[in-house]
Amino acid sequence: MARRSDARPSEARRIGILGGTFDPVHIGHLRSAVEVAEALQLDELRLIPSARPPHRNAPQVSAQDRLAMVTLAVADADVLVVDDRELQRDKPSYSIDTLESLRGELSADDQLFLLLGWDAFCGLPSWQRWEELLQHCHILVLQRPDADSEAPEALRDLLAARSVSTPSALEGPSGQIAFIWQTPLAVSATQIRALLASGKSARFLVPDTVLAYIHAHGLYRGAN
């Protein structure tokens, strides 16, 4: 399902990945993805809907609907593409499996950037085989300017050894950590599900094509 960019065919490609339940995808995800793609001059940024997220409750709508909505959302966004590999697996969506699978398709020089919010990054030590993640990708931590959190003890050594001062200093295919500062739009899928469940409008919080899909398929009308 992922489309390839031929922007720099003879060079290493720069590929970002943003996983999520996308239940539904919204403008917070999309703006953030576009801003990161521009800041890092990515060839593509893959949105990867997760099948059975290991860290949270089951999504409210089917994988098929979530995939359809993400596909509609990125239809005209050149650099944003959908990657449905986690929905093809009949297993929990562990990032390490996704990264290994992606790496199997890329050339050794291609650069992979795993986008993680600060909260997700802090939870890394509970992830499956988390210490192997950096063998396959760089980690780009999306940090809010107003955040004043400290990294957990388990990550301090890793940060000391692997972090670089700015995203532009990330070199090679994998292995380093950088922070990118973004002011996220105050939108969440939880908020959108709640609006729709109570019969309110979600217009301008999701792309119009996604909203049309939600209405056409009667999604999120029940309890949140």
Using CB under 6 A as the criterion, which residues of the chain lie in contact with ligand ATP when the complex forms? 18, 20-23, 28-29, 32, 117, 120, 184-185, 187-190
- Token look-up 């107003």 returns 146
Which one, 10 or 57, has the nearer CB to ligand ATP?
A: 57
Quick one: 143 or 188, whose CB is closer to ligand ATP?
188
- What is the Cα–Cα distance from 161 to 145, expressed in whole angstroms? 23
In this complex, which beta carbon is closest to ligand ATP, that of residue 41 or of residue 190? 190
Calculate the CA 209 to chain-centre distance.
Answer: 20
In whole angstroms, the minimum distance from the beta carbon of 9 to ligand ATP comes to 30
User: Shortest distance, CB of residue 194 to ligand ATP, whole angstroms?
Assistant: 9
Burial profile 66-88: b = 16 or more Cβ within 10 angstroms, e = fewer:
bbbbbbbbbeeeebbbbbbbbbe
CA dist 29 and 192 (Å) reads 13
Cβ 23 to ligand ATP, closest distance in Å? 5
Q: How far is the CB of 223 from ligand ATP (least distance, A)?
A: 15
